[in-house]
Amino acid sequence: MIVAGLDIGSLTIKAVIFEENKIKGFTIVPTGADANKLTKDCLELTLKRTGNDFKDLQAIVATGYGRISVPFTDKSITEITCHAIGANWLNPDTRTVIDIGGQDSKVISVDQDGRVVDFVMNDKCAAGTGRFLEVMANALGVKTEELGNESLKSKKKITISSMCTVFAESEVISLIAEGCAKEDIIRGLHEAISNRICSMACRLRLENTIALTGGVAKNIGMVHALKKRLKAKVYVPEEPQIVGALGAAIAASRILYSE
């Protein structure tokens, strides 16, 4: 039984092919103006890699903010439910999922079966999201992928107080002007976000193990900052970005079973 999960996020599109309780292949591509076409391309590319054909797919589930507009799926499920399912499959000990995505960050309480018990999400602004980090990386002239390693070099603590993207950007610029080291600023940004995420997380009953998912979990500096602040057992999947798509794929196979 072959199924697919698609996660159409605000920054990237992820596709996962899942067969007999195994990940067969996955692809991550950046989002563009024509999300439908890109999603289709992304799925076809993955199928090519796994040596399958579109016809082989017995069910497709879409998640992410673009989940509703993709025409060729069987069902759409929100990324909250999908991240819970995906994280639970990867590590059954997971009781909390922190997903820092492009435009939303969320903290999800999960039971032993991967069911969502409760969740909280950021308010409408971009503070504490992938987008926020992207803007800051831009202001600093650093690639987003490099933020993590850069921040590890930091020796001095800098506090960034603004969380509004616009204000934080100007704060970063004035810190550069004051001659602060890039790595210290980046660490400051990571700490600011992790504070924000943690105060959100504290609205739920935080339980071990905490899984970090979403693109931002690839940022080692961010993971460090979160670990320090959470003081909890933290699990980072090998491919944190595809947890949502994986959850969608698992949900797709469950649809088949229930039928």
Partner 1 sequence: MLDNYNDNFKSALIKKIAKNSNTYQLGNIGSKIYFRKSSKSFKLWLDFLFYQLKEACKKRKLVVWTNIYTPSELLYALGLIPIYPELISGVLASVGLASYFIETAESKFYTTDLCSFYRVATGLVLKGWFPEPDLIISSSQLCDGSTKFFHSISKYYNCEHYLIDTPYYNDLNSQKYLAAQLKEIAHKIDEISGQQLNNERINHTFNLSNQAREYIIKLSKFRENIPSPLSGWDAMAYILYMFFSSLGTERGLEFYRTLYQEVRERVDKGIGVIKEEKHRILWLHQIRPYYQNEIIQNLKENKAVISFEEVSYVYWSALDPQRPWASLAQKMTSNFGIGPIERRVKTVYDLVKRYNIDGVIHFSQRGCRQSCGGAYIIKDFLQKKGVPMLILDGDGADSRNYSKAQTRTRIEAFLEMLS
Partner 2 sequence: MIKKEFLDYIQHKERIFESIKKPRMGWVCTYTPVEIIIAAGFYPYRIIPVEDPSLANSYLDSNFCPYVRSCLGEALEKRPEYADNLIIVNSCDAMRRLYDAWRHYVQGAFIYLLDLPRDDSAKAIKYYQANLQLLIDRLEEKFKIKISEDLLSQAILVCNKTRKLLTELSDLYVKEKISLSAVEFLQIVKGSMIFPQEEYNILLEKFLKDLKKEENILPETSQIKNKSKILITGTVMDDLSMAKVVEDYGGRVVFVDMCTGNRYFSDQSKISEIKQTNSDPLRVLAEYYLRKIPCPRMMNLEKRWEYLLKIIKDYQVKGVIFYNLKFCDTSMFELPLIREKLQKNKIPSLCLEGEFASNNLGRVKTRIQAFLEVLEFAR
**Toward partner 1, which CB reaches closer, 118 or 145?**
118
Q: Does 171 bind partner 2 (CB under 8 A)?
A: yes
Binding segment toward partner 2, per CB under 8 A, in 36-44, 96-104, 163-171, 239-247: 163-171
| Binding-residue pattern over the window 174 to 193 for partner 2, x denoting contact by CB under 8 A | x-------------------
Binding partner at 132 among partner 1, partner 2, none, C-beta below 5 to 8 Å by kind = none
Least distance between partner 2 and beta carbon 157 (Å): 13
- 25 phi and psi, to 5 degrees? -175, 160
Residues 114 and 87 sit within 8 Å (Cβ to Cβ): yes
Cα 46 from Cα 4, distance rounded (Å)? 10
Residues 89 and 23 sit within 8 Å (Cβ to Cβ): no
AA identity, residue 217: A
Interface residues for partner 2 in 70-129 (CB under 8 A)?
123
Interacting residue with partner 2 among 161, 179, 257, 259 (CB under 8 A): 161
Binding partner at 159 among partner 1, partner 2, none, C-beta below 5 to 8 Å by kind = partner 2
Q: Does 195 bind partner 2 (CB under 8 A)?
A: yes
Least distance between partner 2 and beta carbon 123 (Å): 7
Other CB atoms within 10 Å distance of the CB of residue 151? 25
Residues 29 and 36 sit within 8 Å (Cβ to Cβ): no
Name 212's bridge partners.
Answer: 98
Q: Max alpha carbon distance in the chain (Å)?
A: 63
**Toward partner 1, which CB reaches closer, 123 or 178?**
123
Sheet of 2-8, strand order: 22-30, 12-19, 2-8, 57-63, 75-76
Least distance between partner 1 and beta carbon 80 (Å): 4
| Binding-residue pattern over the window 120 to 159 for partner 2, x denoting contact by CB under 8 A | ---x-----------------------------------x
**Toward partner 2, which CB reaches closer, 90 or 100?**
100
AA identity, residue 235: Y
Phi-psi region of 65 (alpha: psi -120 to 50; beta: other; left: phi over 0): alpha
Residues 157 and 184 sit within 8 Å (Cβ to Cβ): yes
Least distance between partner 1 and beta carbon 104 (Å): 7
Least distance between partner 1 and beta carbon 158 (Å): 28
Binding partner at 80 among partner 2, partner 1, none, C-beta below 5 to 8 Å by kind = partner 1
Which two tokens mark 153?
A: 């070099």
AA identity, residue 175: L
Binding site residues, partner 1, CB under 8 A: 65, 68, 77-81, 103-104, 115-121, 123-124, 203
Closest CA to 63 of 4, 1, 151, 150: 4
The residue ranges that bind partner 2 (CB under 8 A) are 123, 159-162, 167, 170-171, 174, 195-196, 198-203
